[in-house]
Structure 1
Amino acid sequence: MNSNPMYMEYVDDADPHPAPPRRGWRILGWVCIGLSAVMVVGSLTAYGLYRKAFGNIAHEDVNAQLGPNRPKKLNSAMNILLLGSDTRAGSNAKYGRSMKNEPPRSDTMILLHLSPGGGQAMGISFPRDLMVAMPSCKTKTGGSTPASSRAQINSAFTNGGAACVMKTIESISSIRIDHFMQVDFNGFKAITNAVGGVPVCLPKDVDDKQSKLKLSRGKHVIKGETALAYVRNRHGLGDGSDTDRIKRQQKFMGALANKAMSAGVLSNPAKLLQLMNATTKSLTTDKELTPQVMMKIAQGMQGMTSGKLRFVTVPSGPDPIDPNRVALTSAAQPFFASIRNDKTVPSEPKAGGPKIPPSQIRVRVYNGSGISGKAQRVAEDLESQGFQVSVGGNASATRVSRVMYGSGAVQQAQSLSALIPTKPQPAARTSGGSPGVVDLVVGNDWTTLKSAKGGIPKQAGEIKANDDICKGV
């Protein structure tokens, strides 16, 4: 672990026998960021009722710091940089009084990509130890920092705040960032209480004296002090690697987002107001991300379920120069290109094109290819393009892929068939069909699925907000 103060982590000076610097505070940033994402895609539609809560939000002008030379916007997607700050200012001081006068850092950086049309969203995390080329950034005092060919990405926030992080990520990805949202960890316990607790799953009993976490193996719904102890814990959970820790953070954030997006929170005015107050009191955004803009974004995302909220880590691996750091891999630029070029089916269908968008098509996939796991892989491809998908199991062996439909699903079947290279002629189900459902039987001739909207390919290790919390535990 780097002992440089620039990279110091969680310090709790209430502990009379402090352990080496811990990383628990980073997870607090993830949690607040998860709620910021939820607030954008869901609860902001209640702006008229909760406008007082929006008065808690602080704003920052970043345009002057960013300058004119920025990537061009290629589509109507929205990219919001979510930052977790470890500032010890104000009541945050109790999380490390010895760091009160140090410049804040951001070891939590997520690019929230909202696809055009509101069908899906993706949170892309950038590891704190990622080594990148750092551009020159303007400081808040009017000076500037020199450009560097090699620097740790989390130092960008210290160099020039949110604007410098935006500039850095834009420079390595060529993705235009529209807005930023920055949170500290002060409201963590209030947020977990507001949603009624967050479900977690432990692989074994934990009794950690440092974090004061004592939970038995299995599922739990935790909030308040217990949730705080859970996110601070570093003993007995995982293998201790940064990769494992990020996965655990993504799963926790997904569970939190899933809970916050549930009807039990969003349809309950009292719970929603409590949640928004807890979130907005620790939130800073750019000046252009006004409540009215947030509401417009949220209206465009109405109907998006937690299953369409995906979390991935930017393609990266061990840094060839320093094994204690990570670097972008060759897969990074194709991945960034898929984000830049993400497209959805237009709101108004093109003449002669598919009539029904993927988000309104329910597909059941059967495996008739004889290749184990083929239906699941095809289902994942369909799901990544926005279809509502389930796997129906095995079908009789067939050379030719087939599309069949239940009552009322003829147009849906035509839309799906148009994306299959062999363009099978859809046929009505005479038996075994379900109303409104399209059945796809994958045969030996299956090659690939055409893209309905550019789309973002499924990424290795990605996590969905509605995943089983005990998956992989």
Structure 2
Amino acid sequence: MKKRPAWAAIAVAGLLVMGSLSAYGYYWKLQSAVHREDVDKLLGKNRPKKLNDAQNIVVLGSDTRAGANARYGRGLEGKPPASDTMLMLHLSPGGGQAMGVSFPRDLMVPIPPCTRTDGSKSPGKPVAMLNEAMALAGPTCTVKTIEQFTHIHIDHFVQVDFVGFKSITTELGGVPVCVTGDVYDKDSGLRLAKGRHVLKGEQALAYVRSRHGFGDGSDTQRIRRQQHFFGAMAKQAMSGGVLADPGRLNGLLTATAKSLTTDKQLTVARMLDLAQGMRDLSAGKLRFMTVPSGPYALNKNRVQLVQPAANAFFAALRDDRTVPEPAKAPKAPPGTVRIYNASGLDGGARQVAGELRERGWKIAGVGNIGRRSAATFVRYGAGARPQADALAALVSAGRAAPRAKEAPGVVDLVIGTRFAGLKGTSIPPQQGESRASDAVCEKVT
């Protein structure tokens, strides 16, 4: 009888060892399924310095036709893969906000000489479309190219193919979208009736790939649609508790591991750390934007960076070294506000509405004002002065002014061209910006 505790201890120890081995085996299986590139070795030491604790992760959609992806382009199996979706996920220090920054595939930039995984070298190009970098020397060359013209240090990259993207949307249970009219694109196979849909698998892939089924078929328009889709996808993951549930995260990784290519330092454990570090990030604090760009002077079908706006934007991302301050308690409880955009910035009113909604304000409406205003100002109706003063302080608009025609209890905010964002926001508003919290059928203003 005296030996029972000893035998029990041995049994428990054995179970712990077996559990550890099982966990290690599971981890090793996932780790070995992901394809990896040694970015540090391929890029060398001549890279932008890392200035702060922000994380910059380049996410690439690969059009490779290898393996199960061959069905999306018969006869293209030998074609070098390119990337039609290029997005940099910028995670601010402290996890207070995140941004998905899109780079157009047709963006004309210098592509530097790159080292391929087999040791051979690809020649540089004085100017070429950004998506050619991957075809020349793989995803690491895309990272090098982006680092070169942004001067931002890229911490990691993730490349996902068609099959992996389908798996992600399926594991999330589908992603809600809204189309304003019937859609049919014979190239992607997408067919949707006007209204709201929840897409996953084949339909989700066709939706983000489609160009000719929507509007003018431009890449710029497709980027905007992809940003709204990615925002809805992120919101689905956040609201569904995926980021906070290790089991569901592991399920997502298991389903997609074979379709992923990453840098050598982005281990499965690091992926889980990054995902769980975002679990407290609300959808309203995940912003999507496109780098400042416009028509390319030599070819109207291409785009180029717009200066000095692009360099100012890249500098703001590089210098995002301060943890965003928590919103201070206003002098009065948040009230009801109507937001009017007089800045000329596409989507400005809707963007601010998302931020204020996150801080407890009730949004009575958003709209545009045709005549631009340099100043940002606040007006209020009877009984709403405390709320108006609190809002004016939050947007650095000076003193709020009463207005006799204003509805009682309502505050109006007019955003001007000099508006630099709400206090506590480290990256200024950008043209055409959207948020993961946007309603999928919400009108863009």
CA contact (8 A) 1:205 1:215 kept: yes
CA contact (8 A) 2:190 2:206 kept: yes
Partner of 2:99: 122
How far 1:388 moved relative to its partner?
A: 2.4
Query: What does 1:33-52 correspond to in 2, within 5 Å?
Result: 51=27
Task: Return the alpha-carbon distance in structure 2 between the equivalents of residues 386 and 367 of structure 1.
Answer: 10
Contact 1:131 1:319 in 2 (8 A): yes
- The CA deviation at 1:148 is 2.8
Which of 316, 320, 326 is 2:303 aligned to? 326
**In structure 1, what is the Cα distance between the partners aligned to 2:421 and 2:289?**
23
Equivalent position of 1:75 in the other structure: 52
Tell me the CA shift for residue 265 of structure 1: 4.3
Greater Cα offset, 191-200 or 53-62 = 53-62
Cα pair 1:366 1:442 within 8 Å, conserved: no
Q: What is aligned with 1:288?
A: 265
TM-score by length of 1: 0.70
1:464 matched residue in structure 2: 435
Aligned-pair CA distance for 1:360: 8.6
Unaligned runs of 5+ in 1: 1-46, 347-355, 406-412, 425-431, 434-438
Q: 1:141 to 1:227 in 2, by over 3 A?
A: closer
> How far apart, in 1, do the equivalents of 2:432 and 2:139 lie?
28
Q: CA 1:315 to 1:207, structure 2 compared with 1: closer, same or farther past 3 Å? A: closer
Deviations 1:181-225 (A, max 9, x none): 111111333322211121121212235555544432111112234
Distance 1:62 1:306, change over 3 A: same
| Secondary structure in 1 matching 2:83 | coil
With over 3 angstroms needed to count, the CA separation of the structure-2 counterparts of 1:453 and 1:203, relative to structure 1, is: closer
My pick for the range that moved more, 198-207 or 226-235, is: 226-235
Q: 1:247 to 1:451 in 2, by over 3 A?
A: closer
Letter in 2 for 1:227: A
Distance 1:363 1:326, change over 3 A: farther
Give unmatched runs, 5+ long, in structure 2: 1-22, 365-378, 401-407
CA deviations over 1:54-80 (Å, ceiling 9, x no partner)? 553222101122121211222211111
1:335 alignment partner in structure 2: 313
**Offset of 1:119 from its aligned partner?**
0.9
For 1:139 and 1:423, locate their aligned partners in 2 and report how far apart those are by CA, in whole Å: 59
Query: 2:153 aligns to what?
Result: 176
Alignment of 1:261 with 2:230, yes or no, is no
Identity %: 49
> Larger relative CO (CA 8 A, sep 6+): 1 or 2?
1
Alignment equivalent of 1:144, drawn from 117, 121, 135: 121
**Counterparts of 1:379 and 1:183 in 2: how far apart (Å)?**
31
Per the alignment, residue 351 of structure 1 pairs with none
User: Does residue 396 of the first structure (1) align with residue 366 of the second (2)?
Assistant: no
1:340 maps to a residue whose letter is R
Q: Displacement, 1:258?
A: 1.5
Task: Give the TM-score normalised by structure 2.
Answer: 0.74
User: How many Å apart are 1:238 and its aligned residue?
Assistant: 2.1
Aligned to 1:112: 89
**Cα shift readout 1:210-255 (whole Å, capped 9, x = no counterpart):** 5544432111112234334444544442221111111111111221
Q: Alignment partner of 1:312: what SS?
A: strand
Alignment equivalent of 2:214, drawn from 208, 233, 237: 237
Partner of 1:85: 62
Check the 8 A contact 1:345/1:452 in 2, yes or no: no
**SS of alignment partner, residue 430 of structure 2:** coil
Going from structure 1 to structure 2, the CA distance change for 1:470 and 1:149 (only over 3 Å counts) comes to: same
| CA deviation after TM superposition for structure 1 residue 141, in Å | 3.0
Quickly say closer, same or farther: Cα 1:211–1:60, change in 2 above 3 A.
closer
Give the 3 Å change call, closer, same or farther, for CA 211–318 of structure 1 in structure 2: closer
Alignment partner, residue 327 of structure 2: 358
Q: Quote the Cα distance in structure 2 between the aligned partners of 1:250 and 1:448.
A: 23
Q: What letter matches 1:358 in structure 2?
A: A
The answer to which of 297-306 and 126-135 deviates more is 297-306
What secondary structure, in the 3-state scheme, does the structure 2 residue paired with 1:220 have?
strand
Alignment partner, residue 31 of structure 1: none
RMSD of Structure 2 on Structure 1 (CA) = 4.2
Larger radius of gyration: 2
Q: How many residues align?
A: 395
C-alpha displacement of 1:174: 0.9
Q: Is the 8 A contact 1:344 1:452 kept in 2?
A: no
One-letter amino acid of the counterpart of residue 395, structure 1 = Y
